Homo-oligomer: A and B are copies of this chain.
Amino acid sequence: MPKAMFEDIYRDVKQKIQDDVYPYQSFLPPEKDLVAVYSCSRNTVRRALQMLADDAYVQPLHGKGVRVIWQRSKQPTVGSLVGVESFEEYAKKNGRVPSTEVKLFETLTCDQELSARTGFEEGAELTHVIRVRSLNGEACQVDHNFFLESAVPGLTPRIAAGSIYRYIETELGMRILTSSRSITVELSTDMDRMYLDLGPYSCVAITENRVFNSNGVMFEYTQTRSHPKTFNLHVVSRR
């Protein structure tokens, strides 16, 4: 009920763009018209338009209007498969069957080297999980998860075999707020080749993910090592 209005406008306009109500290269109605349509203030309209611009759906042109620059991909995109949280969602979208196999489940104490790599404090108790993620039975990424035990207590191999995020959000009631990722490409390791059928590929795509909860503590560091064939990331750069 107390749903933010600017999000409704954002979704509505976005949908209209995808439905060609506002076609590629056309101009949106001027802000004052949108104010009338949605019966809200100009600020609220502008906030929604700002979000659409961030998504590269529209391009505001000073003194001219707001142009639609989104167009449906001609070659249907594979989508973005990056990081843990999008894995199941990605599978669903593309009509594939996801599966997860837990290869390692242990608790350990963060030493200096691990601290430098992950950003956790030295001496922190961590749950370390290695999982192989597959789509339609084909292994496509290896996840190396490190969870801060004090923030994510009660993890079990059984939970790890499903969705750890669902556990975190529903069971622990913890909200996930921010996450930042870094993407690199590195030579594959023996473990990569053991779990992924890399064939001629000598590399894997690596995304590092650091996730913060609503208490401001980083509670997860994950390194996802993806088969190049299944790696595809879409980024929109701002102005």
Residue ranges of A at the interface with B (Cβ–Cβ < 8 Å): 25, 53, 56, 59, 61, 67, 69, 71, 74-75, 77, 115-117, 119, 177-187, 200-205, 212, 214, 216, 218, 228, 231-237, 239
Contacts and interface: CB of A to CB of B under 8 A. Distances in A.
Nearest to A115: B74
A182 B228 contact: no
Please give the count of copies of this chain that the complex contains: 2
A204 B223 CA distance: 20
Instruction: Name which of A67, A200, A232 has the most chain B CB atoms within 10 A of its CB.
Output: A67
Given A202-B202, A216-B67, A117 B182 contact: no
Given A180-B235, A187-B200, 7 more contacts: A69-B216, A71-B119, A75-B117, A182-B234, A185-B228, A186-B228, A202-B203
Contacts of A115: 74
A173 B190 CA distance: 52
A222 to B, nearest CB: 13
A interface, by DSSP: helix, strand, loop or mixed?
strand
A75 B181 contact: no
A235 B178 contact: no
Contact of A237 (B56, B179, B203, B237): B179
A207 to B, nearest CB: 8
A71 B118 CA distance: 12
Contacts of A204: 185
A44 to B, nearest CB: 13
Contact of A184 (B53, B187, B200, B228): B228
A61 B178 CA distance: 11
A181 B235 contact: yes
Contacts of A177: 59, 239
A77 B182 CA distance: 10
12 contacts: A53-B178, A56-B180, A67-B216, A178-B237, A180-B236, A181-B234, A181-B235, A182-B232, A183-B232, A183-B233, A185-B231, A187-B228
Contacts of A69: 178, 212, 216, 218
B61 A183 contact: no
